[in-house]
Every structure is written in structure tokens, then in C-alpha cells.
Amino acid sequence: MALRHWREHVSPQSVGLPAGGRRRAPGLRREELAQLAGISADYVVRLEQGRATSPSAQVVEALSRALRLPQEEQAHLFRLAGLAPPGPGTVPRHITPSVHRLLDRLAGTAVAVFDAAWNQLLANPLYTALMGERHGEDLNGVRRNFLGADGRVRFTPESRRALETALVADLRRTAGQYPADLDLRSLIADLRRRSARFAELWESGAVGRHEAARKTVDHPDVGALSLDCDVLSVAGSDLRIMVYTAEPGTEDADRLALLGVIGTQSLGVEERRG
């Protein structure tokens, strides 16, 4: 099957994995592809053997990101799965090979990639260690901020209001730019129905921008870290890259470096247990 062909032609190093010992076949192991895509290895086996015939669009997107497929090959994978490739009126969720390479070079920095609707598409190990695992949680940043439990970022009432205003204004711009995206329309309808604060901001036409900010992250293992949070835009794809950095020579930098060791190691232990 095409999925196995792609898997066997992707080197571990090209997707940020160690080559690791001897391999019976070139490319990624099924377990490695499953880990990168956030699905089970058994499901990868069933897909390759043609026993899982109706994968969801989310699974196909995750596989194409894990395999770092160019956009035309991603579209081919969608068609093989019996799905229509994302159209021009939908929020782009394809992460280009160049963005993947950029993240590979930022291994010592906490980085995550979001689409224009604030769905988290990818996070490197340090970002995951900083913010915590989100297995089974909603990966949409707007829904998390309005409907989810409090995360590790510390807010004042003023900073919380500013973030909410910026997120709603940003989502309104996205809705105008991608009117054919049904998932986006569903997200907005759900938020307007379930969050009075979101509905108020949406109907008021509030204007704001998600800008760089100084944030304090309360981490259960290394304590509080005061970090700079910058959001970078990727021209041509409408992706947002969120980057957390510490000022060099500070206790925050030391704690972030420590987290890069103990945090990512603990994640690796959990992955092996899971």
C-alpha cells in the first residue's frame, strides 16, 4: 500500500528521530510512524493491510504531517482514503517541509505550530514538557481558553481579557478568510452557544491582535518560569509558530534547560509505557 511505501522512504533522521541500531527495513518503523502521528501501531498495520478502510480526515492529516508529505502527495493520500483533499476555502493545515526543518533546528526551544483557527498541529518535546501532555484533550487553543480547565500559564484578570479579545478577533478574521471551512463554522457556533464571554466578544466586534508577551508558566517539576512568548506567521500557509524563550543567563533559562533534560526524558518513559 502507498502508506507503507511512504513510511519506508522516510529516514528517521529526517523526522527528528534517532536512527537507532540495525533495522530490518529502511525508513520508519510502524511504531515510530504511529508515535509521530498520535495513533496506535495496530491502526497503522490495519491501514497498510487495507483492513481500516475509512480513516478520518484528522488521521490522514496526522499521517501526512508525520511523513512530511508535500502538499500534492498529501492530496493523493486523502484521495486514497476516499476523502476530498482540503479545498481553497478551508483553513490550511499542511505543514511544509521547510517549516518542519525549521522546527528541527529549534530543538532546544519550546515550539508549537497552530493553524489559523488555533488548532495545535505539532509541538516539539520541549513545548510538550513545558505545557504538559494533552492526550485526549481538545487541541484548539480558543476552545481551551474559553471552555477548558486552567493550564500552566499564569494570568492576571487584565491579561486574560486581552488574550480572549485577541483570540476572538483573530478567529473572526479567519472566519472571513475561510468561509467554506465547516469545522471552523462548527467551532464558532459551539463557542457562541457554550461561552457567554465568547458570544459577547463575537457580537461586539471586538478588535485585538495576538502579540508577543511575557508569560509566567507554573511547572510542577521546575517551578515558575518567566518566558517570552512570540507568535510568528508563516507566509503563504497562514500557520502560526508559537515560541517560548528565556533570557540568557537567568534562572528562567536554567530552569528551561533543566526541563529540556528531565521533562523530555519523562515523556519518553511515558511513551514506552503507553
pLDDT digits (tens, 9 = 90+) for 218-263: 999 999 999 999 999 888 888 999 999 999 999 999 999 999 888 6
User: How is residue 242 written as a grid cell?
Assistant: 508559537
Instruction: Walk me through the domains of the chain, giving residue ranges and CATH numbers.
Output: 2-80 (1.10.260.40), 97-273 (3.30.450.180)
Q: Which amino acid is at 166?
A: A
- Given pLDDT bands bounded at 50, 70 and 90, which one contains residue 187? very high
Residues 6+ apart with CB under 8 A from 225: 130, 216, 217, 219, 246, 252, 255, 256, 259
- Nearest 5°: the CA angle 48, 54, 60 is 70
User: Does the global pTM surpass 0.85?
Assistant: no
**Residue 216, class by beta-carbon neighbours within 10 Å (0-12 exposed, 13-18 middle, 19+ buried)?**
middle
Q: pLDDT tens, 71-85?
A: 788 888 888 888 877
Cβ 174 vs Cβ 116: under 8 Å: yes
- Residues 118, 147: contact at Cβ < 8 Å? no
pLDDT of residue 193: 97
Segment 146-177, tens digit of pLDDT: 998 778 999 999 999 999 999 999 999 999 98
Element (H, E) at 217: strand 213-219
Of residues 102 and 16, which shows the higher confidence score?
A: 102
- Map grid coordinates 510538550 to a residue: 128
Confidence of residue 271 (pLDDT cuts 50, 70, 90): very low
